[in-house]
Amino acid sequence: MSEPTFTKRVFSGIQPSGGLTLGNYLGAVKRFVEMQAEDYETIYCMVDLHAITVPQEPKKLAHNTRELCAFFIASGIDPEKSILFNQSQVPEHTQLGWIFNCVARMGWMNRMTQFKDKAGKNRENASVGLFSYPALMAADILLYHATHVPVGDDQKQHLELTRDVAAKFNHDFGVEFFPITEPVIQGPATRVMSFRDGSKKMSKSDPSDMSRINMTDDADMIAQKIRKARTDPDALPSEQKGLEGRAEAANLVNIYAALSDQSVDQVLSDVGGKQFSEFKPMLADLAVEKLAPIADEMSRLMQDTHEIDAILARGAERARGVAAPILKRTYEIVGMVGA
């Protein structure tokens, strides 16, 4: 049997689990927009079913899902070019998710560091969904036979599990049905760090609002957070090597590079030798220039949620057009009567 060829197709998702951060923008959505302009079919999803693996207030969840849709569009995702939808409107995700719960092994799930981080000390009280989440994530991706998945660095382990699920399914059933997906973890800001602690990822769930830039922060707030970001007393180096062991300094330079579409070395060749007192205002100006238009467009879009809901419904319909035949074929392979 010849190897099947898969269409170059991108899938990625973001949870509507609360405010959106600069980490979500630089690690994920900015890359989504770039890939939309390249030679891929692109499918982007608000993964609301993942968000409920931890408690969510229903009205807030609905608001966050619509706001996330506004964020995608304001950042440059075109709902005509890309398929844009929320996960729960396409029931095939959970259907394939169940099959993959039966493919993935307990041992694989036990190794997932995100579960350990999110469950914290009280593991007995974590939801079963939080534990089995990576099986649903594998389904999100493989339901579309996606070949490429752009994500931040923190999702690497889950993507490896997705590859393991595809390989085990193909092997167990003697087929070449699911592609072995390529993670796309690229650019200078695949892991944006907290402004308070350079060893922790910038996160919407950090109790300190000063630790992150929210996509809805105004210009003054952005400037204030950058001014107060933790750094060290040394000047900036003129080469990347000089950032070793300086996590906070490296983080600000990485953010500058990503926002200005330059490499870290290009940035350092310009700003090497400067003190943070000089570099921080440069970074604040750049961040405001790039982020303020996104925040403005998000708030404009949120004034008419009917339009957002219509975009999501249409996106879900298009997504089902791709997903339904792949799920049907999966059921046939597994031996489900009437598939």
DSSP calls for 27-65: IIIHHHHHHHTTTSEEEEEE-HHHHTTS---HHHHHHHH
One symbol per residue from 204 to 223: x for binding ligand ATP (CB under 6 A), - otherwise; what is it?
xx------------------
Helices (H), 186-275: 219-228, 247-259, 264-271
17 among annotated binding-site residues: yes
What is the maximum span of the chain, computed from C-alpha positions, in angstroms?
69
Active-site position among 30, 201, 225, 290: 201
Is 156 one of the catalytic residues?
Answer: no
Q: What residues are paired with 11 via a beta bridge?
A: 43
Question: How far is the C-alpha of 8 from the C-alpha of 40, rounded, in Å?
Answer: 5
290 among annotated binding-site residues: no
Site for ligand ATP in 24-43 (CB under 6 A): 24, 27-28
Site for ligand ATP in 154-193 (CB under 6 A): 154-155, 190-192
Question: How far is the C-alpha of 183 from the C-alpha of 163, rounded, in Å?
Answer: 10
Nearer to ligand ATP, 162 or 203 (CB): 203
16 among annotated binding-site residues: yes
Active-site position among 8, 60, 118, 168: 118
Cβ neighbours of 27 (radius 10 Å): 26
Q: What amino acid is encoded at 58 in this protein?
A: P
81 among annotated binding-site residues: no
Nearer to ligand ATP, 14 or 333 (CB): 14
Q: Which residue is nearest to ligand ATP (CB)?
A: 27
Q: What amino acid is encoded at 139 in this protein?
A: A
Is 118 one of the catalytic residues?
Answer: yes
Q: How far is the CB of 75 from ligand ATP (least distance, A)?
A: 12
Nearer to ligand ATP, 65 or 203 (CB): 203
Q: Considering only 135-143, 198-206, 261-269, 287-295, which stretch makes contact with ligand ATP by CB under 6 A?
A: 198-206
Q: How far is the CB of 16 from ligand ATP (least distance, A)?
A: 8
Nearer to ligand ATP, 15 or 147 (CB): 15
Residue listed under structure tokens 């870290």 = 264
Instruction: Report helix, strand or coil for 24.
Output: helix
Q: How far is the CB of 61 from ligand ATP (least distance, A)?
A: 12
Instruction: Report helix, strand or coil for 275.
Output: coil
328 among annotated binding-site residues: no
Burial class (CB in 10 A: 0-12, 13-18, 19+), 55: exposed
Is 241 one of the catalytic residues?
Answer: no
Q: How far is the CB of 115 from ligand ATP (least distance, A)?
A: 11
Torsion sign across C-alpha atoms 172, 173, 174, 180: negative
Question: How far is the C-alpha of 149 from the C-alpha of 141, rounded, in Å?
Answer: 8
Q: What is the CA radius of gyration of the chain?
A: 21
CB 145 within 8 A of CB 179: yes
Site for ligand ATP in 6-25 (CB under 6 A): 14-15, 17, 21, 23-24
Report the catalytic residues.
Answer: 118, 201, 204
Site residues for ligand ATP per CB under 6 A: 14-15, 17, 21, 23-24, 27-28, 151-152, 154-155, 190-192, 201-205
Binding site members: 15-17, 23-24, 140, 152-154, 192, 201-205
Binding site members for L-tryptophan: 140
